[in-house]
Amino acid sequence: MIRIIGALVGLGFAFVVLLSFGFDTYNAATTKAEKSAEYVFYEESHGPDGGFAHDGVFGKWDLQQLQRGYQVYKEVCSSCHGMKFVAFRDLADLGYNEDEVKALAAEWVTVPGVDADTGEAIVRPGSPTDYIPSPYPNQIAAAKANNNAIPPDLSLITKARHHGPEYVYSLLTGYSQPSAELKAEFPDFETPDGLHFNKYFPNLNLAMAPPITVDGQVSYTDGTEPTISQMSEDVAAFLTWTAEPTMVERKQKGWPVLGFLLFATILAFFAKKQIWSAVKPKKAK
């Protein structure tokens, strides 16, 4: 008797679950969701006109662009964002020689260290073996300085975002005021104090203030005109390199591999024909 009651109770629970699933499925299929301002006016990210030099299967790093991107990061982005997975010695891959790498590292005078005499924590100039430091000692300090929003580390940011290089470029160039169409369709939409409207950010309101605001904010030494678009493109390319420094090398190695596979496939095809050439197929009766 107890088993029968238990089975009936189980069947009852199963029936209720199936009934709930059926109602939820019906409601999801027939109820039209209301579109929010974020859904309607959020724009998909895009890259610069002509794309990046590293795009495509034949793409290559533009070392001058990567050096300019590092300069933009150093002079603009590093005040809020660290790069804990990038060592100063890695900058040699951008075309800097050993002395230049040492000089670039020494420009950072806030690298955490230890006093050899007292054992106390100090800050010191960087060396090539150091990693690019965070501007904040901990996340609490980072949140306090940025309206409770902790700036992300930028070492791998282009790998952590969909279409990362295009996302970074669009975000840096996408600050503006809400359009008249948005205000007309969503009168209640607003950008709270401490946030900034950006049409390429998923919820349109971003805690990060516009980092690149005027042309010429960074002075390039190679003669390139430092427009907002150019500086955004350069730092996006640099962050692509920091996230995947071997990307171009991997592409270049892929072509010999594909060539070998094609040759091996052709060789195997002719070998098969040679081996089976003496075997005559049986005629169907």
At the top level of CATH, the class of 39-82+150-247 is mainly alpha
Q: Per-residue pLDDT for 148 more than 90?
A: no
What is the band of 154 on the pLDDT scale with cuts at 50, 70, 90? very high
| pLDDT for residue 3 | 72
Side chain identity, residue 55: D
Domain-wise residue ranges, the chain? 39-82+150-247, 83-133
Q: Residue 110: which of 70, 150, 141, 82 has the closest Cα? A: 82
- Alpha carbon dihedral 175, 177, 178, 181, in 10-degree steps, equals -120
Question: For the residues 110-128, what does the mean pLDDT come to?
Answer: 85
Q: pLDDT value at position 122?
A: 83
Gap between the Cα atoms of 285 and 283, Å rounded: 6
Band (6; pLDDT cuts 50, 70, 90): low
What is the distance of C-alpha 174 from the center of its chain?
16
Give me the mean pLDDT over the 108-133 stretch: 87
Residue 240 has pLDDT above 80, yes or no: yes
Residue 285 has pLDDT above 70, yes or no: no
Checking if the pLDDT of 251 tops 80, the result is yes
The annotation places the binding site at 77, 80-81, 208
Average pLDDT over the chain, rounded to whole? Answer: 89
Give me the residues paired with residue 196 across strands: 206
Spell out the residues 6+ positions from residue 56 whose beta carbon is closer than 8 angstroms to its own.
none
**Residues 171/45, Cβ–Cβ less than 8 Å:** yes
Q: Is the pLDDT of residue 70 over 70?
A: yes
Residue 222, pLDDT > 70, answer: yes
43: DSSP letter: -
State mean pLDDT over 79-93.
96
**Residue among 218, 194, 228 at smallest CA distance from 208:** 194
Task: Provide the 10 A C-beta neighbour count for residue 85.
Answer: 14
Annotated binding site for heme c: 77, 80-81, 208
**C-beta separation of 39 from 204 below 8 A:** no
Neighbours of 128 (CB within 10 A): 16
Residue 79 Rama label (left phi>0; alpha psi -120 to 50; beta): alpha
Over residues 173-199, the pLDDT tens digits come to 999 999 999 999 999 999 999 899 999
Whole-number pLDDT of residue 278? 76
| Mean pLDDT of the region 258-280 | 87
Q: Is the confidence at residue 158, as pLDDT, over 80? A: yes
What is the Cα–Cα distance from 2 to 8, expressed in whole angstroms?
10
pLDDT at 30 over 70: no
- Above 60 in pLDDT, residue 33? no
Query: Which of residues 57 and 245 earns the better pLDDT score?
Result: 245
Q: Are 226 and 220 within 8 A, CB to CB? A: yes
Q: Please report, for residues 13, 16, 33, the alpha-carbon distance to residue 25 in angstroms, rounded to integers and kept in the order given.
A: 18, 14, 14
**Tokens found for residue 242:** 């920091």
Asked if the model's pLDDT at residue 103 lies above 70, the reply is yes
- Contact between 165 and 236 under an 8 Å Cβ cutoff? The reply is yes
The number of CA neighbours under 13 Å toward the Cβ of 89 is: 4
pLDDT bracket for residue 34 (50, 70, 90) = low
205 pLDDT higher than 60 = yes
Report pLDDT for 200: 96
Question: 183-196 b/e with 16+ CB inside 10 Å = b?
Answer: eeebeebeeeeebb
Confidence of residue 36 (pLDDT cuts 50, 70, 90): confident
Q: What is the mean pLDDT of residues 98-112?
A: 92
Q: Which residue has the higher pLDDT, 146 or 168?
A: 168
pLDDT attached to residue 224: 95
For residue 205, what are the β-bridge partners?
197
Higher pLDDT, 33 or 156: 156
